[in-house]
Amino acid sequence: MNNRLTVNDEGVQRMIDNNSAMYYSNQMIIPQNMTHRPVNTIKAYSTKQEEWKKWCLEQRFGDGKIATDQKLIYFLAEYVMKRGRKLRRNTDGVLLL
């Protein structure tokens, strides 16, 4: 008996092809976008991106750190919202709101 999976449904094959094309498109556009990103944007988001990467690694997602709607909502609900608000202080130690 042949154990190979065959796809006879055109809709399923189209969905697979589209998802594959979107994935590879994302992989190509991200590095291009990074080369044109302003320095202040890099500074502002680098720590937040590291938090995201660390969290994704801890969760052991099959797709790694690729952001999806569901994954972002889960991250916000389980990581960001539970830790509460990060309070910043100025150079004198006074809380900034």
The 10s digit of each residue's pLDDT in 38-65 is 888 888 889 999 999 999 999 999 999 9
State the chain's mean pLDDT as an integer. 85
Categorize the per-residue pLDDT at 35 as very low, low, confident or very high, splitting at 50, 70 and 90.
confident
Q: Is the residue at 57 inside a domain?
A: yes
Q: What is the DSSP string of 63-81?
A: TTT---HHHHHHHIIIIIH
Backbone angles phi, psi at 87, to 5 degrees: -95, 130
Least confident stretch, 14-18, 27-31, 74-78: 27-31
Question: What is the domain range of residue 71?
Answer: 10-84
Q: Is the residue at 94 inside a domain?
A: no
Q: Is the residue at 15 inside a domain?
A: yes
Q: What is the percentage of the chain residues whose pLDDT exceeds 70?
A: 91
Neighbours of 55 (CB within 10 A): 17
Cα distances from 57 to residues 30, 66, 70, in angstroms, run: 19, 11, 16
Q: pTM here?
A: 0.53
Q: Is the residue at 44 inside a domain?
A: yes
Q: Is the residue at 77 inside a domain?
A: yes
Q: Is the residue at 31 inside a domain?
A: yes
Q: Is the residue at 19 inside a domain?
A: yes
